[in-house]
Amino acid sequence: SIATIIVGFAIGVFASVGIGKQFKHLIERITALANALPALGVLAILIPILGYGMKSAAVALLFCGVMPIIFNTITGLGSVPQYMIELGEGLGMSKVRVFFNIKLPLACPVIMAGVRSSAIIIIGCATLAAMAGAGGLGTLIYAAGVRGFDPIMLLQGALPVCLFALFVDRIF
């Protein structure tokens, strides 16, 4: 979602420039730790806090989807060659212009790889949102397929999710 991209990119940029560099290692460690949490575990933590329904599912999807974007933004901005930055500064560019004209364009492929990963993760995790009462194709997978042992219903939910994930992956 757009919110995931905005939040992930903002945190990644904060950790890569200016005063945020002091927190870079902390943000990377928190991101790595949070990335290890399964989406079902995040939902299990959020349901007692936010309640059963769309709110807890949306926060869980944001939480799971933001991690690859943060990580790839930090990695992409950190991988810009120092000589390119010095070249921009040598040409009289301000730090803001160096960021927008040199760092960001060179880091964009890595950042977009994080957005791509995030989109696929969100699609996969959205099926689990049915367990939080958010509905969707996860309802078919969970209620009819897993609990009801109905392989046809399971495929009716799982196949569209897989095809949608493949379609989104192909777009990126």
pLDDT digits (tens, 9 = 90+) for 72-121: 999 999 999 999 999 999 999 999 999 999 999 999 999 999 999 999 98
- Asked whether the predicted pLDDT for residue 38 surpasses 90, the reply is no
Q: Which two tokens stand for residue 114?
A: 């994080």
pLDDT value, residue 89: 92
Cα 142 to Cα 149: distance, rounded to the nearest angstrom: 10
Cα 69 to Cα 118: distance, rounded to the nearest angstrom: 7
Q: Which residue has the tokens 């992930």?
A: 8
Asked if 25 contacts 74 with a C-beta cutoff of 8 angstroms, the reply is no
Cβ-proximal residues to 51 (8 Å cutoff; 6+ apart), any chain:
none
User: Sign (positive/negative) of CA torsion 84, 87, 89, 91?
Assistant: negative
